[in-house]
């Protein structure tokens, strides 16, 4: 585009001028049998926080010590809190028909579905977006993709992490950053992504489609909507050794043989002659290819 595209305009293009991030803290990781102990939903309008819904929930069962250590939520904190039945209607009213955003949304949407099923409520129709899947796709050079690591990457405070409200707020803010980054990809790349994930259960498909539609409307296969402000830290997969033991002087037998290097470092090493044989053949092939300039 000739003119810079601001975030508000980008959100409109992606049909995300309004969305709601949400998160549950629970008694465990089983969406069918565990129960919610805290719920948070934060609405974003034009990229700004506009409203919040946050409640501790009495799960009507004990909270384990491990869960308390992770979340900071104790049995005492929820003993006088409302139950699921008490808050369900207010919570669903808050969500309305907004697009929903969560980190690893598959887990949270299962919890939401089970909550509504238990209490006989209609979950409603929502487009759903997942910051975990987006982070793995867009920030592939990062070592981990949990919410804490991504929060630090984007300079967000992690104070209060593992509580629903803070995790939800950071999820929404991270989602905005990821939309900015996604918009740096041209139509030829977005089209390939759409073709690859079509018919799958991978999240964010509507996001790619909406971006692809706008890029198609502009009619430029190579250009993106915005310029990236992130620099990827690509790692080399070639290692060089300045020591006396040059890898070119180490044979496959030195590594895989019955008294080789693996035996000295692997406690469960078993000598397998065929393994050494195949490694030697690969070594010979590579040496021949180097000699004729193939590699």
- Catalytic-residue membership of 126: no
Q: List, in sequence order, every residue forming a beta bridge with 256; answer none if it has no partner.
A: none
What number of other Cβ atoms are within 10 A of residue 288's Cβ?
11
Could you tell me if 47 and 67 are in contact, meaning their C-beta atoms sit under 8 angstroms apart?
no
How many contiguous H segments (helices) and E segments (strands) does the chain have? 13, 5
What is the β-pairing status of strands 18-26 and 128-130? unpaired
* Two structure tokens written together for 1: 């585009």
Could you tell me if 150 and 174 are in contact, meaning their C-beta atoms sit under 8 angstroms apart?
yes
Of 103, 162, 232, 266, which one is the catalytic site residue? 162
Could you tell me if 161 and 154 are in contact, meaning their C-beta atoms sit under 8 angstroms apart?
no
Spatial distance between the Cα atoms of 178 and 119, rounded to a whole number of angstroms: 35
Strands of the sheet containing 128-130, edge to edge, are: 48-56, 36-45, 18-26, 100-102, 128-130
Catalytic residues: 162
């Amino acid at each position: 585009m000739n003119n810079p595209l601001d975030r508000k305009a980008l959100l409109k293009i992606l049909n995300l001028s309004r969305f709601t991030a949400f998160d549950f803290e629970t008694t465990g990781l089983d969406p069918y049998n565990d129960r919610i102990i805290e719920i948070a939903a934060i609405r974003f309008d034009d990229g700004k926080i506009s409203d919040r819904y946050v409640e501790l929930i009495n799960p009507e069962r004990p909270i384990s010590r491990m869960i308390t250590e992770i979340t900071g939520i104790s049995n005492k904190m929820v003993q006088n809190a409302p139950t699921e039945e008490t808050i369900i209607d207010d919570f669903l009213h808050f969500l309305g028909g907004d697009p929903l955003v969560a980190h690893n949304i598959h887990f949270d949407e299962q919890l939401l579905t089970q909550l509504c099923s238990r209490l006989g409520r209609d979950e409603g129709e929502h487009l759903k977006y997942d910051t975990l899947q987006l982070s793995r796709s867009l920030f592939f050079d990062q070592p981990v993709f949990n919410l804490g690591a991504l929060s630090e990457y984007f300079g967000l405070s992690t104070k209060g992490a593992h509580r629903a409200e803070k995790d939800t707020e950071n999820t929404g803010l991270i989602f905005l950053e990821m939309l900015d980054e996604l918009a740096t990809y041209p139509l030829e790349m977005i089209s390939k992504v759409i073709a690859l994930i079509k018919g799958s259960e991978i999240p964010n498909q509507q996001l790619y489609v909406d971006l692809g539609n706008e890029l198609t409307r502009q009619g430029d296969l190579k250009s993106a909507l915005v310029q990236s402000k992130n620099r990827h830290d690509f790692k080399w997969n070639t290692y060089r050794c300045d020591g006396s033991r040059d890898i070119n002087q180490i044979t496959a037998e030195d590594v895989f043989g019955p008294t080789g290097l693996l035996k000295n470092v692997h406690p469960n090493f078993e000598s397998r002659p065929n393994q050494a044989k195949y490694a030697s053949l690969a070594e010979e092939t590579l040496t021949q290819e180097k000699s004729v300039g193939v590699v």
